[in-house]
Amino acid sequence: MIDPITRGIVVAVDGSPSSTAAVEWAARDADLHNVPLKVVHVIAPLTYVAEGWSAFPAEVYSQAQEKEAVRILELAHKVAVESAAPDRASQVTSEVLHEPIVPGLVDLSKTAGLVVVGCRGEGGVAGALLGSVSSGLVHHAHCPVAVIHNEEPTPQPSQAPIVVGVDGSPTSELATEIAFDEASRRGVELVALHAWTDMGPLEFPRINWAPIEWRNYKEQEEEVLSERLSGHRDRYPDVAVRTVVVSDRPAQRLLEQAEHAQLVVVGSHGRGGFAGMLLGSVARAVVHSARVPVIVARDTNV
């Protein structure tokens, strides 16, 4: 079977509860894929000294910053080893980087199979749905990005399904491959949702249009979805697939399915996206609002 995450997993940490949840999830996913896990903490360069601290030497501040970074990284490394299988401790490494945070992680994503980050980091605004680092990564990373939303988790059973949004776009194809692979390794059902139009159920062009023509369109789109899944089904015959075809806003329906799922996978931009788009409206809505881990399938080659 093809493994989209063969190059290993990088998880970014900053000592926040969301970061700890990201480490735990990343360690388990690295186990599933039998790939190395790198735990990374990035120290942004010191650009100024705040007013009133002019007598505080920059060197002393840097030393304190470095000491705190080591503490954060050691704790995160310990969590990763404890969350991983007993024989995989040697596959967990850690590193402190000294560069701007988002550009540093984006650079790491060029050689990673997956970058994992908490939805909100240390210093995030209370109630914020997505932090600046996680937002920067889902917009600019060179590989898929997993955003972990469960710092206050609503536990899902281990047999809860994986949900993927399918629209036929290149990043949707990558999302589908990732979702099949994750479902296979976890031994769970895959729910493949396809919204063939963004019109809501009450937005048909005329009153008597819906009953017969909706059925015709639905049957056609079910065939289209089946064709898009056929190659993946051949590669992953062990995965049970449940298809959902709707005429409705895809983000809303994906979020409904996510309420009973353990993971949602979406493409970074879909069929309506224009060339160069960094993040589509569906991916943005799901990654901001889902309360389970979300993988955004990013690939700068598509």
E runs forming strands in the chain: 9-12, 37-43, 92-98, 114-118, 145-148, 162-165, 190-197, 241-247, 263-267, 294-297
Phi/psi-derived region of residue 168, left when phi > 0, alpha when psi is between -120 and 50, beta in every other case: left
- pLDDT value at position 164? 96
Give the side-chain half-sphere CA count within 13 A for 121.
18
DSSP symbols for 179-232: HHHHHHHHT--EEEEEEEES--TT--SSTTSHHHHHHHHHHHHHHHHHHHHHHH
Structural domains of the chain sorted by starting position, each given as residue range(s) with its CATH number in brackets: 9-148 (3.40.50.12370), 162-297 (3.40.50.12370)
pLDDT tens digits, the chain, 302 residues: what are they?
567 788 899 999 999 888 999 999 999 999 999 999 999 999 987 755 555 555 556 677 778 888 999 999 999 999 999 999 999 999 999 999 999 999 999 999 999 999 999 986 554 444 444 678 888 999 899 999 999 986 554 556 789 999 999 987 888 899 999 999 999 999 999 999 998 765 555 445 554 555 556 566 777 778 888 888 999 999 999 999 999 988 778 889 999 999 999 999 999 865 444 344 446 788 889 998 998 999 999 876 64
